[in-house]
Amino acid sequence: MKMRLFALTVLVSLLLVACGGAKTPAPAASAPAEITMMMWGDPAELDVWNQIVADFHQATPNISVKVEVSDWDSYWTKLKTLLSAGTPPDVFAMDAPLYLDYQSRGVLLNLQPYLDKNPDMLKGVYPQTLEAYKTADGMYGLPRDFQTIVLFYNKDMFDEAKVAYPSGDWTYDDLRTASKSLTKIGSDGKVTQFGFYSDLWDMELIWSEAIWAYGGDIINADHTKTLIGEPQAREAWQLFHEMMFVDKSWPDSTTAGEYGGDPFLAGVAAMTTIGHWAVPGYAEAGFKWDVAPMPKGPAGQTTSVNSAGFVVGKASKNPDAAFEFLKYVLSEPAQKRLAELGFACPVLTTVAESDAFLKQPTPIDQKIFIDSLAFAHMKPVFKGYDEWSSAIGDGMATIWTGEAELGPTLDAAVTAADEVLAKNK
Amino acid sequence: MTRQTQKLVLDFVSYGLLLLGSALMIGPFLWMISTSFKLPADQFTKTLIPPTFTFANFQELFSVDLNFPLLFWNSAYISILITAGQLLTCAMAAFCFAVVRFKGRELLFTALLLTLLIPPQVTLIPNFIIFKYLHLIGTSLPLWLPAFWGGAFGTFLLRQYFLTIPRDLVDAARVDGASLPQIFWRIYMPLAKPALAALAIFTFQGAWNDLLHPLVYLPSVPNTMLTVGLAFFQQQMTHGGKFTVLMSGALLSILPLLIVFFIAQKQFIEGISLTGIKR
Amino acid sequence: MEYGLKPLGREKLWLLALLMPTLIGLLFGALGSVIATVVLSFAKWDLLTPPTWAGTINYVSLVTDQKVLLSLTNTLKFTALYVPGVVVISLLVAVLMNRKIRGVSLFRTAYFLPAVTSAVATALVWNMIYGKDTGLLNFILERLGIPAVCWLCTDTAMYSVVAVNIWGAIGEGMIIFLAGLTAIPREYYDAADIDGANGVQQFFRLTVPLITPSIFFQGLMSTINAFQAFDYIYMLTRRGQGDSSIPVVVFSIYRNGWYFFNYGGASAQAIMLTVVVAVFMALAFWLERRYVVYE
């Protein structure tokens, strides 16, 4: 009995303190509500989100959140099953490029009315991260963190080969030269160390950035034509192809698969381009590394910005409570916790530029991720994105195993991709 | 060549072939075991003996906040329920299909077999919707309740086995005045121990290794089955490039199956000796 | 083949009782899977919005879509390689193990081990074995002076994956055949010994005919399994997040239904698969009537 009274007292006093604070949002729903939140992630993320949810519950005691985290593949299977049965989770995570596939099919709640009632809510958020979620009749989702792609390099390998670390002035030619110097080929012709590796299936890791840097583009404005086969884009593809098959400084996809898909992490490639999500995993690698901005091309310096966001299911029974949770996710306390988690970059400018993000346990130049926003292009988002990127990824896969020629295969992939676009109009 | 020598030679050859085959069969597992005791830095080395023997991978497995005991327990009781359900209801149906004459028997059996043909990726959604209307989502019932409604594989397997049991046994029992259920329970079930053991092994293994169904019916870690927990965990390990930990997780998930196999194996030996005596 | 007891009087109720669970399950199965799939194959469904009627458009694309035809060819090729391999090898193993040799339970465990694990777990090991530059298999081959092979490249991927699937299924087949072999009474062999038949004669004249029920079962089940093979193909031949280098029908169903918002198309492909397997099933039953020996 005494314990319960004590706990109640503590709770009440916490409530009073919480309500007294200026920044915490006032609870909007008066009836107690339980909402489910589903997302993809690693077990480490589950722990932090449970903490965020606990904090949220303290701030808004009448709303409790049930968190469900799965791995990427499982997540989409689960989500689609739930949506097909008409029982979606209240809040769920969304990858920006796939957003329109869901929004256009009417399963997301339009958040604009709520946003209109809370005009200051998005003031502190990086505008580039909001772009993907804007549609003609409002925003149906909100970003929770963002990713920019930067260049990671293995300091030990650079020191050993006596090559200068990558700088912000590097061009793609510099990248190629350095990769060559860092590639070691044994007497039997087998490469024992590669200069560079990046994934070529999805555009986000290297090829969209390179195409933009050479002055090309991925897709036209109204999403009816694929542009990756245009002359300027072809220069980028040519560069990759020569690095892989002439210089041999970039492992082909079969070889990369033997290293678990990440030769950089496996310690056989000196450089890679990837986003902040890799940092916690790399932190446990056995070598010293750091980050640098993406290289420049003839058309300038570019990188890709993508975000993971939250959306509310249209069939949700607690839309108000769900929105309250989204509001909390975009507030400083939650963004701080996410920053400390180290998987992504917080969308709130104040937090991103604070020590919570900049002074993380891993001793690398965190600021590069934020500064890259200045020259970042948004990862394209349109209906049919999955099928379109598969048409390209699958279509070009045989180039990167060395089984097909670059030119004609690229053309065939572009044709297949355009067919998907036509189908989804 | 005398009969004795012929037998000896055949035994020798059999032994040799079996030994060679076993090497191929368990080779990958030796590799798996070896890798799970290696340091992540050594994970690509080609030696069977780890350069540095370590338990670190298993420690990491248990340090992850995934509540392995609960995952194990869930997988265990659900798999056991599924196996029990199948053993019972498939035997009942197989008996009817193999031994009893009734109108439409062949047609019904064919219809049953047809249900085997649709891949689970396609039946997942219609079944999920049905369970939703039965308000059973969120419980473990959708996973094991269907096991009590028979199954094409189990019925087929047992039917084949029942068909090999000599008809004169049944005729003799009929003469003695045995009824249908008595024939089923007193004659066929005891004789079918080897096939029942086989079915138990397969069913348990299928249930234990299933990822798709617990994924949608028991979505929250850790109150789910082991496969879901491991898939969730594996993603992190792949990002961290720690195949050694992945291997140790895989190893642990196999252990219970091996134990079940050992237990069910005894039935085999009993079955062999029983058949010898009874006939 | 008219065999069986005729249920007398009240026993008819018992018959119903014994069959009831299966009948309910059939209803569930028929409704839940087959009918739903057939209906959906005539619809356009993206899982998120309600299904819309689409007529025969999914079936038309079965014939016109190159990818679908490729997946069907791959599936048939896979089956042709897999089924004989599994049946013959597991029968051989079971026969060898049925002799009274010492340590048989250890052998049984060794051969059953692959069947006991999950494909997700062992596929990781097989990736390490099949690796082109870092793989164990090429490592051993090079030691023996044989040039390395790219096991998972498009040309050889089919054979490599079939081999892994056979490896994983020998245990199951072995158990089925062992169960069938133990049902053959000892006296038959003793009588054959007395008649002067040697080992090989006994095998072909006595053993094989008497385990035709098991061969029939294992042959049919392996065929069905071959048509539905997914796990190892998914784990070993997928390129990143994309397609497999040897896409089979189930893989195509998975991608269409779960990635391309094309559940209607996936259902049509599932029906196509069912029809093809049903043909094989009919063939198997015809063979059963002609060749399978029941006592």
Looking at residue C51, what DSSP letter applies?
P
Band of residue B279 on the pLDDT scale cut at 50, 70, 90: very low
Neighbour-count burial for A122-139, b at 16+ CB within 10 Å, e otherwise: bebbbebbbebbebeeeb
Q: Which residues lie below 8 Å from residue A345, measured CB to CB, with a gap of 6+? A: A145, A146, A147, A148, A276, A339, A352, A357, A369, A370
| pLDDT the model gives residue C295 | 57
Q: Which residue, C251, C254, C240, C259, is CA-closest to A387?
A: C259
Give every CB contact of residue B261 below 8 A, 6+ residues apart in sequence. B201, C109, C112, C116
Could C19 and B209 be called an inter-chain contact, meaning their C-beta atoms sit closer than 8 Å?
Answer: no
Q: With CB atoms and an 8 Å threshold, state whether C254 touches B234.
A: no
Task: Please count the other Cβ atoms lying within 10 Å of the Cβ belonging to residue B121.
Answer: 21
CA-to-CA distance for B208 and B225, rounded, in angstroms? 8
Residue A29 near residue A321, CB atoms below 8 Å = yes
B179 burial type by CB count under 10 A (0-12 exposed, 13-18 middle, 19+ buried): middle
Tokens at A128, concatenated: 């580039």
Q: Work out whether the CA dihedral B198, B201, B205, B206 comes out positive or negative.
A: positive
Mark yes or no for CB contact C259/A257 under 8 Å: no
Please state, in angstroms and as integers, the Cα–Cα distance from residue C280 to each residue in A169, C111, C223, following that order.
Answer: 65, 28, 8
> C139 contacts in B (CB within 8 Å)?
46
In chain C, DSSP finds a helix count (H) and a strand count (E) of 15, 2
Name which of C239, C243, C267 to mutate to probe chain A: the one with the most chain A Cβ atoms within 10 A of its Cβ. Answer: C239
Q: Which amino acid is at B85?
A: G
Residues A277, A344 contacting (CB under 8 angstroms) = yes
Spatial distance between the Cα atoms of B29 and B26, rounded to a whole number of angstroms: 5
Q: Report how far apart, in Å, the C-alpha atoms of A120 and of each of A22, A23, A129, A144, A331 are.
A: 14, 12, 16, 16, 11
pTM of the full predicted structure?
0.83
Kindly list the residues from chain C whose CB atom is less than 8 angstroms away from the CB atom of residue B122: 33, 37, 253, 257, 266-267, 270
Residue in chain B lying closest to C223 (CA): B117
Cα of C146 to nearest chain B Cα, Å: 18
> Of A248, A253, A394, A267, nearest to C152 (Cα)?
A253
The answer to whether B131 touches B144, Cβ cutoff 8 Å, is no
Using CB atoms, which residue from A83, A102, A258 is nearest to C133? A258
- pLDDT tens digit sequence for B28-67: 888 888 888 888 777 777 777 888 888 888 887 777 767 7
* Nearest CA among B82, B78, B73 for reference residue B199: B82
* Closest chain C C-alpha to A65 CA, distance in angstroms: 24
pLDDT given at position A407: 92
List own/partner pairs for C200-209 with CB under 8 A and 24 or more apart. C203/C95, C207/C95, C207/C181, C209/C293
SS3 A115: helix
Distance (Å) from the alpha carbon of B220 to chain A's nearest alpha carbon: 5
For chain C, the residues whose C-beta falls within 8 A of a C-beta of chain A are 46-49, 127-128, 131-135, 150, 152-154, 239-243, 245, 255, 258-261
- Confidence at residue B45, expressed as pLDDT on a 0 to 100 scale: 74
- Alpha carbon distance A357, A368 (integer Å): 12
Q: What is the pLDDT of residue C285?
A: 86
Beta strands in B131-219 (DSSP E): none
B160–A contact, CB cutoff 8 A: no
B141's enclosing H/E stretch is helix B141-144
Half-sphere exposure of A248 (CA within 13 A, CB side): 9
CB of B156 less than 8 A from some CB of A: no
How is residue A115 written in tokens? 């946003």
Interchain CB contact of B240 with A (< 8 Å)? yes
Characterize the bridge pairing of strands A184-185 and A191-197: antiparallel
Q: Which range has the top average pLDDT, A147-161, A332-346, C128-142, C144-158?
A: A147-161
Q: Residue A254: which of C153, C255, C258 has the nearest Cβ?
A: C153
Interhelix angle C104-116/B3-36, nearest 10 degrees: 40
Contact B5/A at CB under 8 A? no
**Element housing A391 (H / E):** helix A385-400
Strand pairing report for A91-95 and A269-274 = unpaired
Q: Which domains are delineated in chain A?
A: 33-147+306-370 (3.40.190.10), 150-305+379-423 (3.40.190.10)
What residues of A are in contact with residue B137 (Cβ under 8 Å)? 85, 87
The residue of chain A nearest to residue B216, with distances taken between CA atoms, is A78
Residue of chain A minimizing CA distance to B246: A260
Minimal CA separation from C83 to chain B, in Å? 16
> C53 to chain B, minimum CA–CA distance in Å?
17
Residue range C229-270, pLDDT digits in tens: 888 888 888 876 778 888 888 888 888 888 888 888 888 998
To the nearest whole Å, the CA of C132 is away from the closest chain A CA by 7
Per-residue pLDDT of chain C (295 residues; tens, 9 = 90+): 456 777 777 778 888 888 899 888 888 777 777 888 889 899 988 888 888 898 888 999 888 888 889 999 999 999 999 999 999 999 989 888 887 777 777 888 888 888 877 777 788 788 888 888 778 888 888 888 888 888 888 888 899 999 999 999 998 888 888 888 877 877 888 888 888 777 777 778 888 888 888 888 889 889 999 998 888 888 888 876 778 888 888 888 888 888 888 888 888 998 898 889 889 888 888 888 888 777 5
> How many residue pairs bridge chain B and chain C with CB atoms within 8 Å of each other?
286
- Could you tell me the CA-to-CA distances from C161 to A327, B206, C191, C226 in Å, in that order? 49, 20, 44, 11
User: Average pLDDT for residues B261-274, to the nearest whole number?
Assistant: 61
The pair of structure tokens assigned to A149 is 């792609």
Neighbours of B, requiring at least 3 CB pairs below 8 Å, are: A, C
Q: Which of C2, C33, C214, C251 to mutate to test the interface with B (most CBs of B within 10 A)?
A: C33
Strand bridging mode A303-312 / A376-378: parallel
Which member of B92, B179, B271 has the closest CB to residue C182? B271
Under a CB-based contact definition with an 8 Å cutoff, are residues A91 and A377 in contact? no
> What is d(CA C243, CA A391) in angstroms, rounded to the nearest whole number?
9
Unique residue bearing structure tokens 């009831």 = C20
* Helix axis angle, B152-163 to C212-227, nearest 10°: 160
Contact pairs from chain A to chain B, CB under 8 Å = 83
Residue C153 CA to residue C171 CA, distance in Å, equals 28
Is A327 within 8 Å of A119 (Cβ atoms)? no
In A, which residues are within 8 Å of B228 by CB distance? 70, 74
Contacting residues of C for B100, CB less than 8 Å apart: 4-7, 15
Q: Tell me, what amino acid is at A328?
A: Y
Contact A409, C278 (CB under 8 A): no
Residues in chain C with CB shorter than 8 Å from the CB of A409 are none
A36 — phi, psi (to 5°)? -105, 140
Rounded to a whole number of angstroms, the CA Rg of chain B reads 23
Q: Express the helix, strand and coil content of chain B in percent, nearest 5 each.
A: 80, 0, 20
> Residues A400-414: pLDDT tens digits?
988 889 999 999 999
Q: Residue C179: name the closest of B268, B99, B93 by CA.
A: B268
pLDDT over 90 (residue A356): no
H helix or E strand, kind and range, residue A87:
none
Is the pLDDT at A3 greater than 70, yes or no? no
Q: Which residues of B touch A156 (CB under 8 A)?
A: none
Q: Quote the minimal CA–CA distance from A280 to chain B in Å.
A: 8
How big, in percent rounded to 5, are the helix, strand and coil portions of chain C? 75, 0, 25
* pLDDT number for residue B268: 57
List, as ranges, residues 1-60 from C with C-beta within 8 Å of B.
Answer: 2-7, 11, 14-15, 18-19, 21-22, 24-26, 28-34, 36-37, 40, 47
Q: What is the mean pLDDT of residues A238-248?
A: 93
How does the average pLDDT of chain A come out, rounded? 86
**How many CB atoms neighbour CB A149 within 10 A?**
27
Are C176 and B123 a contacting pair at CB < 8 A? no
- Which residues of chain A make contact with C242, given a CB cutoff of 8 A? 201, 390, 393-394, 397
B206-240 confidence digits (pLDDT tens)? 899 888 888 888 877 778 888 888 777 777 666 66
Task: In whole angstroms, give the CA distance from residue B45 to residue B38.
Answer: 9
- Residue in the block written with tokens 């509001």: A327
Collapsing DSSP to helix, strand or coil, B165 comes out as: coil
Token output for A122: 């998005």
Q: Which of B137, B215, B232 is closest, CB to CB, to A43?
A: B232
How close does chain B come to A167, measured CA to CA in Å?
Answer: 26
In one-letter notation, the amino acid at residue A411 is D
Question: Is A103 part of the contact surface with chain C (CB cutoff 8 Å)?
Answer: no
- Residue numbers in B near A281 (CB within 8 A): 236, 239-241
Q: Given an 8 Å threshold on Cβ–Cβ distance, is B183 in contact with C29?
A: no
Q: Pick the range with the lowest mean pLDDT from A44-48, A219-223, B71-75, C214-218.
A: A44-48
Q: Report chain B's mean pLDDT, rounded to a whole number.
A: 81
What is the nearest CA distance from C81 to chain A, expressed in angstroms? 24
Q: Taking CB atoms and an 8 Å limit, are B92 and C22 in contact across chains?
A: yes
Question: A108 in helix, strand or coil?
Answer: strand
Residue A7's pLDDT is: 38
pLDDT of A27 over the 70 cut: no
| Residue A279: exposure state from Cβ atoms within 10 A (0-12, 13-18, ≥19) | buried
Give yes or no for residue A16 having a pLDDT over 70. no
What would the 3-class secondary structure string for C212-239 be? Answer: HHHHHHHHHHHHHHHHCCCHHHHHHHEC
Which residue in B has a C-alpha nearest to residue C262's C-alpha? B122
pLDDT, position A10: 38
Alpha carbon C243 to its chain's center: 22
C44-291 CATH fold = MetI-like fold (1.10.3720)
Chains that touch C (3 or more CB pairs under 8 A): A, B
State whether ipTM is beyond 0.95: no
- Cβ–Cβ gap C47/A80 under 8 Å: yes
CB contact under 8 Å between C139 and B46, yes or no, is yes
Sequence-distant (≥ 6) Cβ neighbours of residue C109 within 8 angstroms: B258, B261, B262, B265
A141 pLDDT higher than 90: yes
Closest chain C C-alpha to B195 CA, distance in angstroms:
6
Give strand pairing partners of C266: none
Interface of C with B in 176-195 (CB under 8 A): 176, 178-180, 182-183, 185-187
* Residues sharing a CB contact under 8 Å with residue B256, sequence separation 6 or more, in sequence order: B72, B75, B76, B208
DSSP assignment of B36-72, as one string? HTS-GGGTT---SS-SS---HHHHHHHHSSS-HHHHH
Contact predicate C272/C63, CB 8 Å: no
Q: Say which DSSP state A42 is in.
A: -
Q: Test A397 with C243 for CB contact under 8 angstroms.
A: yes
